[in-house]
Chain A
Amino acid sequence: EDQVTQSPEALRLQEGESSSLNCSYTVSGLRGLFWYRQDPGKGPEFLFTLYSAGEEKEKERLKATLTKKESFLHITAPKPEDSATYLCAVRAEGANSKLTFGKGITLSVRP
């Protein structure tokens, strides 16, 4: 059974204080790892897809990395507008496009 574990459950940072969010996964053949951002009362917003170990992707203050067992979402010099819940999901081989999601990490950035 595919599993995704995100840690910590919640993270509070001061503006400008860089940190990382973790997504550990167990999957029978990874076909993609996805990061989403979700603001309160809204649907998840796509951020990144990573397909193979060693791959990295960046967008503004965010950088996602991937190993064979986990992914990190690094946040550099965060701002209050980066406050949101960050979701990680995996797609396994043969999963017919289905995703397995973690429970999410709630990030709060104080000014």
Chain B
Amino acid sequence: DAGITQSPRHKVTETGTPVTLRCHQTENHRYMYWYRQDPGHGLRLIHYSYGVKDTDKGEVSDGYSVSRSKTEDFLLTLESATSSQTSVYFCAISDGRLVQETQYFGPGTRLLVL
């Protein structure tokens, strides 16, 4: 299994509070991604990073920010959590080479915003 951990694994928070989710990898992969998974929508990309301090938006980035100060860590912040951000969040990594660009996923964080 790819060395990817996510923390926390479960979180309950209240509307309006900031929340930070952490993704940590031990594979030294260049690319890291944050997705959310909701019933009826499948996996949707929030933000991704292609190197330290290099990030870009995905298709559902509103209300989220990210930071990557080290190769191994990618943080996702919900600036002011809303009930619509209740979801399961997955981190993924890939090495970014032309041929082997498979993304490997972490175990997920289940977030409930009350």
Residues of A within 8 A of B (CB): 31-32, 34, 36, 41-46, 49, 87, 89, 91, 96-99, 101-104
Interfacial chain A residues near B41, Cβ < 8 Å: 103
Contacts A44-B43, A96-B56 known; list 12 others, CB within 8 Å: A31-B101, A34-B102, A34-B103, A43-B90, A91-B101, A96-B50, A97-B48, A97-B94, A98-B58, A99-B45, A103-B42, A104-B42
Instruction: Please report whether the interface of chain B is mostly helix, strand, loop or mixed according to DSSP.
Output: strand
**Chain A positions within 8 Å of B45 at CB level:** 98-99
Q: List 11 A-B contacts (CB under 8 A).
A: A32-B101, A43-B4, A45-B105, A49-B102, A97-B50, A98-B45, A98-B48, A98-B58, A99-B43, A102-B42, A103-B41
Q: B32: shortest Cβ distance to chain A, in Å?
A: 10
C-alpha gap A101/B40 in the complex (Å):
12
Q: Which residues of A contact B90 (CB under 8 A)?
A: 43-44
Q: How far is the CA of A104 from the CA of B94 in the complex (A)?
A: 21
Contacts of A49 in B (CB 8 A): 102
Is B63 an interface position by the 8 A CB rule? Answer: no
Known contacts A97-B50, A101-B43; is A43 also within 8 Å of B107 by CB? yes
